[in-house]
Amino acid sequence: MTETMPPIRPIRITSGGQVPLADIVGRSDTISAWWEDLDRTSLRLNEPRRLGKTTALHKMASAPRPGWLAAHTTMEGRTTTVDLVNHALRDLQRRAGNPAVFGEVQGRLRRARIKQIKVEVKGVGIQVDADSTPETSFDSLVRVLHETARVLTERHKRLLLIWDEFPDAIRAIAEKEGRGAAADMMAAFRGLREAESTGSIRWILCGSIGFHHVLRELRSGFATIDDLGVTTLGPLTADWSRWLAACLLRALDPRDTGAAAPWLADASDGIPYILELMVKTIAQGAAQPADARAAGRLLVSAATGPLTEGLPLLERVSRFYGDTAPLANTILDRLAEAPRTPAELVRGLRTTGMNADVIDRVIELLTYDHYIRRDGSSDLLTWTYPSLMTIWRARRGRLT
Ligand SMILES: Nc1ncnc2c1ncn2[C@@H]1O[C@H](COP(=O)(O)OP(=O)(O)OP(=O)(O)O)[C@@H](O)[C@H]1O
Ligand SMILES: [Mg+2]
């Protein structure tokens, strides 16, 4: 651990819930890099589930860079276009942290007598006419954002809209209103970003389901998101995951010396959720690991014990790979035995009569989902996170 790390203090496990701001660990370098990227472009972020996306974005929005306002909202539970747009409008007012900007936006809209939009102030939110058609409602959003951009530019400010679980909402809209409606929505948002290309408003679109799954289901290409910069989060650094491990152990026992912290941190690959799962298993009576092997065994108990209800880390395969889920499972199994090149995988699967193009496509999806990665020089495919591979092996059969 480096000298710059803060002193160890007890941090209680939140596992799955919203972490109090003061207990959000690390991520500062990544957040700085995101702010820099946002100078040029809006972004999309996709990582395995529970890696810490929402937590990092929460930290980012809580302390915007000078000159920026930020609003972080989840689109989870939005199932219609009107619902999503109205939610975005309400949230814009409620969370963007600067009522003056939105007060002025509303004033301008009223002065312009934009009656068909019927934007009203209701307490803390903007209410769009409940009878609006989807088109009218989307127009309202465009108009409000456009006015907002103008006010922001005059005040030399910029606005970051972080829309979490956005792909999930698009998928829900496709289910309820049809693929066409969802694809139109994606295209409309693309147009909106283009219209705001001066940079007063930027977006981070984040989701536990990657756009690659959603767009595949919509049978539409990447054209509606090809303007977005692709960004990643990755695990906590080794220093921060060891620090967090020591703090979680300290919360279990005020006399804990943190001796097991490095083993826990290494076994978790810096994924805080896995770290917490392991510490919870210790809280339930498991021994603290004294070496890497013991940490590996603890991870297996954590992944298969009673705490794993809803362990969501690897559920994408069964949910989103459709007909190719069995193939994806087999590929993950083979790569859990040993790294292999795509050609070796295709050769090994030939007896199953599987088409090489389909295999390549599934490899691509597994790569987009960050389950596996391809080494540029050797062309070998491996699991990205050994801890996820261990959990996969331990839970195989229950996940599929
Ligand atoms: N930086 C962090 N510091 C401390 N704990 C964290 C951090 N990031 C994540 N966690 C822990 O991991 C859990 C999962 O994190 P989070 O909800 O941010 O992941 P996610 O990637 O948004 O997951 P999902 O894909 O399911 O939406 C949190 O509830 C928290 O317990
Ligand atoms: Mg999340």
Per residue in 65-97, pLDDT tens? 998 988 889 999 999 888 888 888 777 766 555
Interval 339-365: pLDDT, tens: 999 999 999 887 777 788 889 999 999
Say if residue 301 is in the same domain as residue 360.
no
Q: Are 87 and 73 in contact (CB under 8 A)?
A: yes
Of 231, 259, 279, the one marking the end of a domain is 231
- Give the end of a domain, one of 267, 286, 308: 308
Ligand nearest to the CA of 51: 1
- For residue 109, how far is its CA from the centre of ligand 1 (angstroms)? 39
Q: Are 278 and 264 in contact (CB under 8 A)?
A: yes
Ligand 2 is an ion; residues with CB less than 5 A from it: 53-54
Average pLDDT over the chain, rounded to an integer: 84
What total number of domains does the chain contain? 3
Cβ(20) – ligand 1 distance below 6 Å: no
| Residue 76, in any domain of the structure | yes
pLDDT digits (tens, 9 = 90+) for 120-137: 333 323 344 434 444 456
Residue to probe by mutation, ligand 1, list 44, 55, 311, most atoms within 8 Å of CB:
55
Same domain, 300 and 338: no
Regarding the beta carbon of 318 and ligand 1, being less than 6 Å apart is answered no
C-beta 237 within 6 A of ligand 1: no
* Residue 15 Cβ contacting ligand 1 at under 6 Å: yes
pLDDT at position 399? 44
The CA distance from 203 to 197, in Å, is 11
Same domain, residue pair 277 and 391: no
Phi/psi region, residue 220 (left: phi>0; alpha: psi -120 to 50; beta: rest), is beta
Compute the distance from residue 304 Cα to the ligand 1 centre, in Å.
20
In short, whether 265's Cβ falls inside 6 Å of ligand 1 is: no
Ligand 1: residue whose CA is nearest its atom 23? 50
Percentage of the residues of the chain whose pLDDT score is greater than 70: 84
Residues 268 and 335 in one domain: no
Residue 361 forms part of a structural domain: yes
Ligand 1: does its nearest atom lie under 6 Å from the Cβ of 17?
yes
Identify any residues that bridge with 74 across adjacent strands, giving them in sequence order. 164
Among protein residues, the one whose CA lies closest to atom 29 of ligand 1 = 16
Q: Is 6 part of a structural domain of the chain? A: no
Query: Would the pLDDT of 288 be above 70?
Result: yes
* 245 close to ligand 1 (CB < 6 Angstrom): no
pLDDT, one tens digit per residue, over 298-353 is 999 888 877 665 566 677 677 788 888 889 989 999 999 999 999 999 998 877 77
Domain holding 337, by residue range, is 316-395
* Residue 129 placed within a domain: yes
Average pLDDT over residues 164-174: 92
Both 281 and 387 in a single domain?
no
Burial annotation 293-306 (CB, 10 A radius, 16+ → b, else e):
ebbbebbbbbbebe
Which of 231, 246, 261 represents a domain boundary (last residue)? 231
Q: Is the CB of 55 under 6 A from ligand 1?
A: yes
pLDDT average, residue stretch 166-179: 91
In a domain, 265, yes or no: yes
- Name the closest ligand to CA 18: 1
Residues 87 and 171 in one domain: yes
Mean pLDDT, to the nearest integer, of 202-214? 87
Please give the Cα distance from 238 to 73 (Å, whole number).
30
Q: Which two tokens stand for residue 337?
A: 């035995």
Residues 43 and 185 in one domain: yes
Q: Name the residue at shortest CA distance from atom 15 of ligand 1.
A: 52
Q: Tell whether 20 is covered by a domain.
A: no
